[in-house]
Chains A and B, each alone.
Chain A
């Protein structure tokens, strides 16, 4: 979230799309309700009429997987009806930038596409620059090559009628949503978006979110109270686990994992550090070298020296552009190329697409290490349905883990607030926190490599691992300090003197000369120089009256509660909306939230810096060349959708998406055998694959088994009654569920045809409870977003019949 949970109360119009917040983030709805009590409007857009929809001022249906068409129509509406906030666009975005003459778009493809490699050469997706390298601009926004005019041209194709024929949303409903949300354009009002996995889990997921980001920029809704682009993250610490980068492609603090074509630290830093010639751009990522060197110092301690590139070679290198995300490595596992699998508190046998493939892949491993608090379908895959245990070679280690209340440690919520949780209990039997398992395991590996040697032992032997409590257990606080970072010698920084060993108070003080160590620069500042853990704070002061609670817990970065908050003030630093004064310049300093940098406001042209400090040019990207599909989002059909052709262009699906080739990964678009659109979601009473919640009797009693929601119209066609057992099949698998015949789903009118959609819960598995049904992922395809490889769980094709 650019903003935070309590901030939702400041919104004038809340769009909930790609999320069912009332059921899946129920307490977030407290703040939606507070906004509504003050007169805010709530819009719900969803294929299904959910409990969120039931609380909305307006509900509009759309067919799963057509969000870009829906939102693209909104961009067109905003531009054609002059609903945009012109001053904001000129000051804070690249709308006035002039784009390279070679850039173009034709029939669903941007310039530079290579159909053989299914990739783009992005050379033309660039800006025009002058001799000094500064981008050419037209502040009048009239130049036909300026970003705003190209945007207008691109989305002029997204007419109400065409959008409606794709999404199945009635034209009048589209117009109403567009009018309601675009009313937040301008200085007085703020609109927010609450989205979740209903947006990310598509082959065009990242571009859906970018479409919304463009809308928020057009309306001037980013960096202000009650605005922002707010991802409602699904799991308790998915923000923190992402910040710590338990991900193949990034290192802690979102530092790109090194590629093999950067043979040394210098060339790595040259590759990853963005450059700009723009005046007044902080280009914060120019500090990259300080963060990577401080990270390497935290990992490899005294072994990391300037002479050896701070042990840069200890970090594994990907081949250029290599993708090792989960569907790719499960594909390798299925092909027998993976020998060992370490699975910590996850249940891939249920939560990875095409579960038949996933479960077969587990049987090809030599060994599986799994840690969890309950048994699940992954740990027990070797005695699952249809599996002959005597033929499964895989060795399985099932490690009993501590639950969250049985250990100390911190987690980070969706609004980036870090809370420290205290050990209140002890695990049952021999249970142990996963942190303790890791602590012990690495110590054993170190001992083995020290004694026996082996392949490249240095990274293991050099790894700093002094995180014990002196009694053989992990001390979480000592890890928190390493993550925060500390000075490695006595230094003067920020006008103060610090001693060697003292914690670094701000990432602005990190260095690239080896004099600081920090495990994750974003978390620098959580532990103060005198050792106080700010994530433990419970102060309720609220000086702005806006519910920022700056002394409650701690949030990254540097306790800033609303990102890009300097976009909320005018050139003199005064709040554009005086009723929500997030920041105010007093003449020599900022008061309010922690500003995005202490520089004076824009009127001080000598010393100021623009608001979007993480972007190289200091402005937000309406034209965004970073993504794989193109600088403007374009509608493509889901890989498995009901239409044989894309009504927008000759490109049916995302042209750069990866299609898996093994025969088990079959796709069946526009196939009469599978005519019904299906989507998946969670019930309030369950969590993810249900691996925890299915073992909790209160929850299982409330929501006992897998069900399929379907319209009365489809039920009648198929002779199905509410409560009947039905069989759902895709090209990859099938499962049975209880039919829930409901008015919450209605057939769509798409391209003049009636298209049915159904939806089902993904919370179940065969292991427990008995007869609850199995995973919806037996049906889903192995295919993902072209940027993130988040699977397309939300739109695929099935058949439905009475079982």
Chain B
């Protein structure tokens, strides 16, 4: 461990497994060698794992190091990744605040919420109920309104009465899945942030 540089370590593992979120406590996050040396201090802090990520606001993709508690998985610290060639550790006002997008923000949505027609309040629901109900709603509209042909008699196999707007906040894999799902349902009202 003592001979491996921090960069090599990260390249080898893809993350700083077993590292410490020390920088927020005023301890330099210079090298993994610090890990052993700082163990006595570490007893007073939480055991953390540090993960590689990139910022989630604009499209520069500034590198982030996200440290979370190894047991509770709660985020302890987020800072710019000094090894990242684009941002070289720097972050803007939004990136430097992104800690508040984590579970540390008490306003994060935590429950599935449902608002019934003409109701004045949210109700808490389970995932199973919500996804079962949504699947039934989609199927009911699709089965009723699915268009096999258009006015010219050409085959169209489409559905015009459900619309979707998706997101540039979603990962590539999620975007690909939603693209496949919507086309298979026959949707043509498909759009996302690129246009607006």
Contact = CB atoms under 8 A, between A and B. Distances in A.
A345 interface: yes
Nearest to A412: B172
B179 A698 contact: no
Interface string A678-690: 0000001111100
Nearest to B137: A367
B189 A236 contact: no
A792 B147 CA distance: 32
A328 to B, nearest CB: 8
B110, B119, B156, B190, most chain A CB atoms within 10 A: B190
A238 B193 contact: yes
B184 A463 contact: yes
Interface in A2-16: 5-6
Interface residues of B, number: 122
A780 B18 CA distance: 51
A405 B173 contact: no
A636 B86 CA distance: 38
Contacts of B38: none
A483 B175 CA distance: 11
A272 B84 CA distance: 40
A393 interface: yes
Contacts of A317: 154-158
A242 interface: yes
B46 interface: no
Chain A binding surface SS class = mixed
A456 B86 contact: no
B11 to A, nearest CB: 5
A673 interface: no
A116 interface: no
Contacts of B91: 27
A409 B191 contact: no
A491 interface: no
B186 to A, nearest CB: 5
Contacts of B35: none
A390 B120 contact: yes
A24 B118 CA distance: 41
A538 interface: yes
Contacts of A429: 108-111
Interface string B124-141: 000100111111111101
B105 interface: yes
B4 interface: no
Given A241-B193, A245-B179, A444-B135, A345 B170 contact: yes
Contacts of A394: 115, 117
A248 B152 contact: no
B117 A538 contact: no
A483 B176 contact: yes
Interface string B159-183: 1111111111111111111111111
A396 B115 contact: yes
Contacts of A315: 157, 183
A784 B109 CA distance: 34
A369 B156 CA distance: 26
B79 to A, nearest CB: 13
A308 B127 CA distance: 37
Chain B binding surface SS class = mixed
A373 B58 contact: no
Contacts of A434: 167, 170, 174, 178
A426 B73 contact: yes
Interface string A691-732: 011011111001000000000000000000000000000000
B157 A342 contact: no
A440 B136 contact: no
A9 to B, nearest CB: 11
A449 B139 contact: yes
A766 B112 CA distance: 22
B160 to A, nearest CB: 7
A455 B139 CA distance: 9
A539 interface: yes
Contacts of A474: 177
Interface in A596-655: none
Given A27-B62, A422-B15, A440-B131, A240 B172 contact: yes
A326 B184 CA distance: 20
A374 B188 contact: no
A790 B193 CA distance: 10
Contact of A398 (B59, B113, B136, B177): B113
Interface string A161-172: 000000000000
Contact of B114 (A299, A396, A684): A396
A397 B112 contact: yes
Interface string A454-469: 1110011011000100
B152 A6 contact: no
Contacts of A426: 73, 103
Contacts of B10: 538
Given A374-B108, A444-B135, A424 B53 contact: yes
11 contacts: A24-B58, A246-B175, A319-B150, A332-B163, A340-B161, A391-B118, A394-B117, A425-B66, A444-B131, A788-B195, A789-B195
Given A243-B172, A392-B118, A538-B83, 17 more contacts: A6-B85, A248-B189, A251-B183, A260-B154, A318-B188, A346-B192, A396-B114, A403-B101, A409-B172, A414-B60, A438-B177, A442-B184, A476-B174, A684-B93, A692-B169, A768-B107, A791-B196
Interface of B: 7, 10-11, 14-15, 49-63, 66-68, 73-75, 78, 83, 85-88, 90-95, 97, 100-103, 105, 107-120, 122, 127, 130-139, 141-146, 148, 150, 152, 154-196
Which 8 A-B residue pairs are closest in the complex by CB-CB distance? A429-B110, A409-B171, A413-B61, A345-B167, A26-B92, A316-B158, A238-B168, A400-B109
